Structure 1
Amino acid sequence: MGRAEERRARQRGGRRAAPKRSSGTAGTTGAFGAPGTTASPSVGGRAAARGRAAKAAGSGNTGGRSGKGVIRRLFTWKKIVGSLIGLVLLVMGGFVLLYMMTPIPAGNATAKLQSNVYKYSDGTVLARTGEINRENVDLAQVPKAVQHTFVAAENKTFYNDSGVDLKGTARGLVNTLSGKGAQGGSTITQQYVKNYYLNQNQTVTRKLKELVISLKLDRKKTKDYILAGYINTSYYGRGAYGIQAAAQAYYRKDAKDLTVEEGAYLASLLQAPNQYDWAIASDTGKKLVQARWNYVLNNMVQMHWLDAGQRQSMKFEVPKAPKGAPGMQGQTGYLVDAANAELEKQLVAQGTAASLGDAEALVRAGGWTITVNIDKKKQKDLEQAVKEQLTSKLDPKKRSVDGEVQPGAVSVDPKTGRVLAMYGGLDYFKHFRNNALRRDYQPASTFKPLILAAALEEQAKTQDGRAIDANTIYDGTSGRPVKGSAIGFSPPNEDDQNYGDITVQTAMNKSVNSVFAQMGVDVGMTDVLKVADSLGLDTKGLPAVPAQTLGSMGASPLEMAGVYATLDNHGRKVTPAIIKSAEHKDRTVNLPNPVGDQVISRTAADTVTSVLTGVVDDGTARTSVRENPARNGQQVAGKTGTSDNNKSAWFTGYTPDLVTSVGLFGEAKNGAQVGLKGATGLIPGSGRINGGGYPAQIWAAYTFEAMDEVSKFDLDTTQGAAVQPSVTPSLTQSPTSSPSSSPTTQKPTSAPPTTSAPATPSRPATQSPTTSPPSTSVTTPPASPEDPLNPNGQQ
């Protein structure tokens, strides 16, 4: 077979063509395939038949093969690759077009800042802010090592990159499109562009503009120009814009005199200025800023900008205490800062800002009209009460301890949650930290009502199975070990007083530690902290141990005012709100309702309120509140508190329409907690300032002046001091019964009022039945009402 025939054979079926037979070879021998003969004609026939069958089979499967053929024709590798290349080219073309059409703009209005206007609830102006605390400095005036701290903190590749971080920007775009907000990744150039040329809004358009302008700026300007712009426009907290203002605000020096350690702290601040400001930072914030400070210095070593040996010798130094900004003297600065903080949290909560740092920038940029809930008259009344009852008696020149007394107070409407008045400290210029918001001091015995609330809400029982209520009998022996706890706890009562068998009502009146320690174990400390948290006290992360019954956690006057307002509001959650409204031309802020859901039953809340009227009429607040001539029959509930070593003293009290928490805190000039003993020089004996002393006096002077009319509690309960007794108790009653006392048949343990009658028609006796029918009378608790002139008064 020739080559041409062989090729045609392969094209027909891949086989050689059978040789043609001559007519003379046909026969029997050929049929058996003998040597020298050709194949039988039947072989070719069978091959042909197979070919026809294959064609027939193929025609029967035409539908399936044609479908796959269509897909193959539509989605070939060439077409897919071509489409991807086309898409990439389209994106590149769009970016080139965007690059050509986007100029570097002039500095925006945000870079120049606007004023914020703050108004009282009646619309009158409280304050105006917005004067820029900024002085631009040339980069040459900033030590090179300090310049490096900012690069090490934010963008180690700054000196070599093209001004953008494509990976970080892409991540930011994806997060914006998915509603997750920004998550870092910006270079120093991008941050400068955002601060000076654009704004803080989290939109795709803004991010794309940021990318383009950063690329252009990096080509047209030097790295030193960009770095100078960045450190001069950034916000560092304390009202300071730019490194020169920040150096003065935190270290009382010029930027040219900053050390590496100080520069590292300022560079660390830029991530979250308020959260990382040492003067107001929480324990978590302090840990975070120290960690970032270490991160900055370690990066400098890695980049060979700092000697490793020098780095090892560096120690974190606490910056100086802040000074108030001009025009913010008195209480004004405290109110403005509190309003700003609440607004910033809300901007983050509703997704307008991705972080507190971004929220701070939005608020500081200005253009806001913020109306606070502060009532101008009540604010004046509170300031006057603090001055008359306390600060006018302080003389640091005579007694150093007088310079360490820090008062704070918050007043709330329990029906609306509005913060009507706030006292942050002696003066915003003299003490930057707002004492009304600080939560680094123990609330002490003001926590005890929350234990009772938990007992009532959880329907708890004592170790021997008796239901816990206002009439339950407990052993009030000082230092008695609690029963039923794996953790030993034997708290002494104040002044180590023993009370014997007493009711819960009397234990609350006298603030008996041993009773409430046992009650906390009976209820279960996990449940106690759970209920306390639901009422508004942040207990997350606290260990559920018996020691918490003495109020050993931290709390602020604002927080305690919210807790007691929830009790006053019959168990419906009240979250104190400082802001009434916040308006801005570029954005809308929706404020949450301060009054929330029912968190404990009305009966439980009202029973606690009823019991707390006894603290005022028969207990530790008797002298300061019950006998105050201005009371005029006003019904009052409340609780005193005095912490260990007298570092804090509290009174949180309420009427049906007003809740106010007053706290005094001992704070040394270096920020350390110290005792209040001996302050004012007017307290003899131990010199202790108790909650029933100055805090209760301030509360009474303010409340009885601020209240509009005399009111009574509307309580859904059959227990507690405010309940009119219906049955005269017998000393032979069972402890599981519900005794009701009558002062007409039993002698009360506390002396009758000398100036005004108690608010309730009849006050129950503080004597109580014992756990078994006694052969003689029950132990009578010692009458020791807390009094500023009585150092033996109880907390």
Structure 2
Amino acid sequence: MEVIMNRRNKRRRSLLRLFFRLFLLGLVLALGGAVALMSYAKMQGPPPLSVAQTTEYLAVDDRTIGESHRGQNRYFVPFNEISPYVVDATLAIEDRKFYDHLGFDPTRIGGAIVANLRSGSRSQGASTITQQYARNLYLSHDKTWVRKWNELIYSLRLEMNYEKEQILEGYLNTIYYGHGAYGIEAASHYFFDKDSKDLTLAEASMLAGIPKGPSYYSPNFDEPRAKARQELILDAMVEVGSVSRAEAEDAKDEHLAYKNKELVSGLQIGPYFQDIVEAQLIEEAGIEPARIEAGGLKVYTTLDADMQEKAEKWVAREMPPVPAAAQNKALTDAERATMILQTSLVAIDPRNGDVRALVGGRDYSESPYNRATHAHRQAGSTFKPFLYYAALENGSTPASTLLSEPTQFQIDEGRAIYSPSNFGNNYANDFITLLQAIAFSDNIYAVKSLLVLGTEKLIDVAERVGIISPLPETASLALGSADVTLLEMVNGYSPFANGGQKVKPRFIRKVVDLNGRVLYESEPEKEQVLDPKLAFIMTDLMTGMFDPSLNAHAGVTGGSVAHLVNRPVAGKSGSTPQDSWMIGYTPQLVTGVWVGYDKATPIDQRTEGQISKKIWANFTEDALKNELKLPFQKPRGVVAVEMNPQSGYLASETCPKSRTTYFIAGTEPTKTCPETANADGTDVIDEEAHEEERLIDKFFKWFGH
């Protein structure tokens, strides 16, 4: 027994000696490798502290519309002229061990490896400030082991040949803060109009959060998100002892006044459009922010530079001057927002979804806030085409009639009264056709249609064509009470123009790096969501707003601008007390214009309310000046009849007023106006022909008044 125990003890001792020798050998090899690696890095000498390349933005014809220069909007400042708050905030959020490592942090690398093994990807990064600086200066941002190795070598070369403050100084002077501002000095001047040495703790912590995602964390794009990141950074500064808890809380409460001062920049056509492209490079193309910051990309966009120029021209011509009182520098941004009339414009090719022109406000240098994509406003009557398409799907025709008169509707199971009114309290006090209801924008007809259909059918159509904003299930939805963006609405009209296909708005065609390698490429996305026949009939109905022959108890809503457009067009205008909309289209182009104040200030409908139509009409005619005047293509299964627009009957000697109107074959009117009708089609008495519509109106008279 004793002999066996001795043998076991000897075996254990032998194994321990072997493991110890292997450990020593591994340690010697590791140390030798580290010495060799550092010697190699030292022998390579100091890498040049150069800047990265220019990123170029190209229009649909591959003409350059913008350039993002590393160094263009950068003002290099020495380390001792940068606010210590900037340094501390950056280190707290980006690299707490910056002064202790040799360019890489083994602890962070180990944590990242574990996280990546768990997720099965290489999404988790562990880059130090030195590694980020090396990557931005010398390397691509591909997630490969070769790039990681080169990044390590360059980081060591930086650390072996430059002081820590030189590295941090270079990093802070080259990192991208969005809006064309490279480096902390440019960012400080852009956001706060001051030198970086004068930044407060609150300002510095806000700026320190932007480089992780300039289009994601900029307060100009999403202030709540930027504020949340600022607070995260302040808490991190407390953890590392840079500031006290009291100082951090005071900084969180400090109100930040953003100046958004224009920086010197290169060629930039469509700045609001380019902001969207920059954001989509991250969100849609999946390119890392650091890769974008490094530059050297060619971004092929869908913008038509000529159309963009014309859009900006007509916005400038039709918008009234900024009131002198609004130029008072003592005013707050909120006060100024109630005094300056704003606008936005979006033009999309309905055949593929390509965005051809976009204006997000009257002056980008004064306000980079993009009203075309970020402002959610009530759509007013521009929402009605979705309602009336739902009506056509459910049995209505252009000849369907309802009574237009002041009406009180009992809603919410009789617990509430809803009393919509027509513009100027102008009613037919008679039956009108669906054709007239759209041309005159009759609100009573719209609400009756919704109450018969049910809101779920309207919401279904709106969502099918691409409306993604929440839609309330209320009677007022018929009149556009939903808060939506202009881009949504313009895209939602595209299926009416292209035969029923929903398209996805496209801003980027492809992205190519310095070596000609395609990093991202997109194709148009289409989906058939509407019946082509009904889409064509809706288009025909929407041409009515420009047809003066339909004038009756009211004028058509597009009559004031019909003479400005010399080609087939369809569309719908809309208004709320605070908004004016116009969305119209040809087979080649859908364009929408919104006009209003950033703060919910009432507009003058008779003056300011007409601007959206004027911008739309002038831009549409100008933008398509050299294009063919294409008609809307009638699909099979649709027939045309000469209909009396007032009565919905076929025109005859009794009521000769007529308009060519389209119907699904088999649903067109077959009777002529009765002899008792007036020549214009009014005072029609034919209970049999109007039985359905009269029953509906009797229902409203019994239960709605």
Question: If the length of structure 2 is used for normalisation, what is the TM-score?
Answer: 0.76
How far off is 1:248 after superposition? 0.5
Structure 1 unaligned regions, length at least 5: 1-5, 11-76, 461-466, 678-685, 732-738, 753-757, 780-795
Residue identity matched to 1:142: I
In structure 2, the partner of 1:432 is 368
Secondary structure at the residue paired with 1:577? coil
Structure 2 unaligned regions, length at least 5: 5-14, 328-335, 670-679, 695-705
1:406–1:727 CA distance, 2 compared to 1 (3 A): closer
Tell me, in whole angstroms, the C-alpha distance in 1 between the residues paired with 2:685 and 2:25: 87
In structure 2, the partner of 1:195 is 136
In structure 1, the partner of 2:588 is 657
The one of 600, 616, 619 aligned to 1:699:
616
Matches within 5 A, 1:218-257: 223-257=164-198
Tell me, in whole angstroms, the C-alpha distance in 2 between the residues paired with 1:426 and 1:729: 40
Give yes or no for the alignment of 1:612 onto 2:542. yes
1:767–1:637 CA distance, 2 compared to 1 (3 A): farther
In structure 1, the partner of 2:488 is 559
Matches within 5 A, 1:425-464: 425-456=361-392, 459-460=393-394
In structure 1, the partner of 2:501 is 572
Matches within 5 A, 1:713-752: 713-716=632-635, 724-725=640-641, 739-740=648-649, 742=651, 745-746=654-655
How far off is 1:339 after superposition? 4.1
| 1:18-68 deviation per Cα after TM superposition (whole angstroms, max 9, x unaligned) | xxxxxxxxxxxxxxxxxxxxxxxxxxxxxxxxxxxxxxxxxxxxxxxxxxx
1:313–1:344 CA distance, 2 compared to 1 (3 A): closer
Bigger mean CA deviation after superposition, 623-632 or 578-587: 623-632
Give yes or no for the alignment of 1:154 onto 2:94. yes
Secondary structure at the residue paired with 2:571? strand
Give yes or no for the alignment of 1:268 onto 2:209. yes
Give me the CA root mean square deviation. 4.6
How far off is 1:257 after superposition? 0.6
Tell me, in whole angstroms, the C-alpha distance in 1 between the residues paired with 2:122 and 2:480: 39
How far off is 1:342 after superposition? 4.1
Matches within 5 A, 1:127-142: 127-130=66-69, 131-142=71-82
Residue identity matched to 2:582: F
Contact kept in structure 2, 1:561 and 1:661, CA below 8 Å: yes
The one of 333, 355, 358 aligned to 1:422:
358
How far off is 1:256 after superposition? 0.9
Contact kept in structure 1, 2:574 and 2:581, CA below 8 Å: yes
The one of 585, 591, 608 aligned to 1:689:
608
Matches within 5 A, 1:55-454: 96=34, 101=40, 112-130=51-69, 131-159=71-99, 163-166=103-106, 168-170=108-110, 172=112, 180-211=121-152, 214=155, 223-279=164-220, 281=221, 285-314=222-251, 315-327=253-265, 331-348=269-286, 353=287, 358-359=288-289, 361-388=290-317, 390-391=318-319, 393-394=320-321, 396-397=323-324, 404-454=340-390
Tell me, in whole angstroms, the C-alpha distance in 2 between the residues paired with 1:300 and 1:509: 62
Tell me, in whole angstroms, the C-alpha distance in 2 between the residues paired with 1:201 and 1:377: 36
How far off is 1:423 after superposition? 3.5
How far off is 1:564 after superposition? 1.5
Secondary structure at the residue paired with 1:273? coil
Secondary structure at the residue paired with 2:584? strand
- Return the structure number with greater strand share: 2
1:176–1:112 CA distance, 2 compared to 1 (3 A): farther
Tell me, in whole angstroms, the C-alpha distance in 2 between the residues paired with 1:385 and 1:724: 37
Tell me, in whole angstroms, the C-alpha distance in 2 between the residues paired with 1:252 and 1:568: 46
Secondary structure at the residue paired with 2:521? coil
How far off is 1:243 after superposition? 1.1
| 1:145-167 deviation per Cα after TM superposition (whole angstroms, max 9, x unaligned) | 34222223334454556654445
Contact kept in structure 2, 1:444 and 1:552, CA below 8 Å: yes
Tell me, in whole angstroms, the C-alpha distance in 1 between the residues paired with 2:136 and 2:162: 17
Contact kept in structure 1, 2:510 and 2:518, CA below 8 Å: no
Tell me, in whole angstroms, the C-alpha distance in 2 between the residues paired with 1:664 and 1:741: 40
Secondary structure at the residue paired with 2:505? coil
Tell me, in whole angstroms, the C-alpha distance in 2 between the residues paired with 1:254 and 1:673: 35
Give yes or no for the alignment of 1:534 onto 2:464. yes
In structure 2, the partner of 1:635 is 568
| 1:664-692 deviation per Cα after TM superposition (whole angstroms, max 9, x unaligned) | 2323xxxx443433xxxxxxxx65533xx
In structure 2, the partner of 1:710 is 629
How far off is 1:772 after superposition? 6.2
How far off is 1:713 after superposition? 1.4
Secondary structure at the residue paired with 1:240? coil
How far off is 1:252 after superposition? 0.2
| 1:260-283 deviation per Cα after TM superposition (whole angstroms, max 9, x unaligned) | 01011001212221222222x1xx
1:562–1:92 CA distance, 2 compared to 1 (3 A): farther
Contact kept in structure 1, 2:409 and 2:417, CA below 8 Å: yes
Larger radius of gyration: 1
Contact kept in structure 2, 1:725 and 1:740, CA below 8 Å: no
Residue identity matched to 2:589: L
Tell me, in whole angstroms, the C-alpha distance in 2 between the residues paired with 1:196 and 1:565: 44
Residue identity matched to 2:438: M
Residue identity matched to 2:357: A
| 1:172-217 deviation per Cα after TM superposition (whole angstroms, max 9, x unaligned) | 5577797745334434344333334534222222234445655675
How far off is 1:661 after superposition? 1.2
Aligned residues: 645
| 1:299-350 deviation per Cα after TM superposition (whole angstroms, max 9, x unaligned) | 33333332333433342434424234435688543454344444444421xx
Tell me, in whole angstroms, the C-alpha distance in 2 between the residues paired with 1:195 and 1:167: 23
1:343–1:642 CA distance, 2 compared to 1 (3 A): same
1:149–1:622 CA distance, 2 compared to 1 (3 A): same
Secondary structure at the residue paired with 1:651? strand
Contact kept in structure 2, 1:249 and 1:322, CA below 8 Å: yes
Tell me, in whole angstroms, the C-alpha distance in 1 between the residues paired with 2:57 and 2:504: 21
Secondary structure at the residue paired with 1:182? coil
Contact kept in structure 2, 1:164 and 1:186, CA below 8 Å: yes
1:727–1:536 CA distance, 2 compared to 1 (3 A): closer
Residue identity matched to 2:603: L
Residue identity matched to 1:635: P
Contact kept in structure 1, 2:377 and 2:483, CA below 8 Å: yes
Residue identity matched to 1:265: M
Taking only the aligned residue pairs, the percentage that are identical comes to 27
Tell me, in whole angstroms, the C-alpha distance in 2 between the residues paired with 1:108 and 1:545: 65
Tell me, in whole angstroms, the C-alpha distance in 1 between the residues paired with 2:209 and 2:414: 44
Contact kept in structure 2, 1:625 and 1:700, CA below 8 Å: no
In structure 2, the partner of 1:53 is none
